[in-house]
Amino acid sequence: IELWFDDDDAVMIESSIPVPIFRLVNHTVNASEVTIIATLEQRNGWLIFDANLAHGTVYIGHGLTHVVVCMARNTDVRFYVNGTLAGLAIRSPSLGTDATSGLSIRIGGLASKRTNTWWTGDVYVAAVYPKALTDDDVSDIYNDGLASNPPQPWPMIVDVDVYQ
């Protein structure tokens, strides 16, 4: 799935199974900041979050629906579960804003050499913001029940392309 924004930014959501990867491509503004919000249910307990040179893992209860947020900022990556900060990873060096640097951000999983397991689950709703939200924004979105109907990302999405 490729989302095109009205300022010529594009966010590509590569939904290749089994690992969903969100990658910012063809970016011109705020290349090092992006936020993903997803309402999901997972069938194993560990969830990976990362953005380029920063990553972490968080345990969330399986078989339950959670609202998760992965926010990449210039200096760190923050991961929220149900409106509460659950993980923080420092990005070093911080990512530049040139079009060749490319920002990858992921909520999902990665095969482990120890367990050789992949993330499995269902993503019900996802929203991508080409900017970093504030901690208060994340809390408000969860508390106001907007995860299933998030506010319109800025800038406006003008086209959605789906590739199979």
Could you read off the pLDDT of 97-114 as tens digits, one per residue? 443 444 556 666 554 545
Neighbours of 153 (CB within 10 A): 18
27 and 4 in contact (C-beta within 8 Å)? Answer: no
pLDDT in tens, 10-57: 444 444 333 444 444 434 444 567 777 777 776 665 666 666 556 667
Residue 106 lies in a domain: yes
Lowest mean pLDDT: which of 12-16, 65-69, 137-141?
12-16
pLDDT at position 74 is 75
- Evaluated on CA atoms 65, 140, 28, 51, the torsion sign reads negative
Residue 160 lies in a domain: no
Q: Give the residue among 34, 98, 42 at the shortest CA–CA distance from 70.
A: 34
pTM above 0.75, yes or no: no
- SS3 call for 129: strand
Q: Which domain holds residue 123?
A: 2-136
CATH of the domain at 113: 2.60.120
Model confidence at 139: pLDDT above 80: yes
| Measured distance CA(54)–CA(19) in Å, rounded | 17
Residue 65 lies in a domain: yes
Amino acid in position 68 = V
Residue 144 lies in a domain: no
158, β-bridge pairs: none
Residues 6+ apart with CB under 8 A from 132: 30, 33, 34, 35, 71, 72, 73
pLDDT-derived band at 75, boundaries 50, 70, 90: confident
Domain count of the fold of the chain: 1
Residue 64 lies in a domain: yes
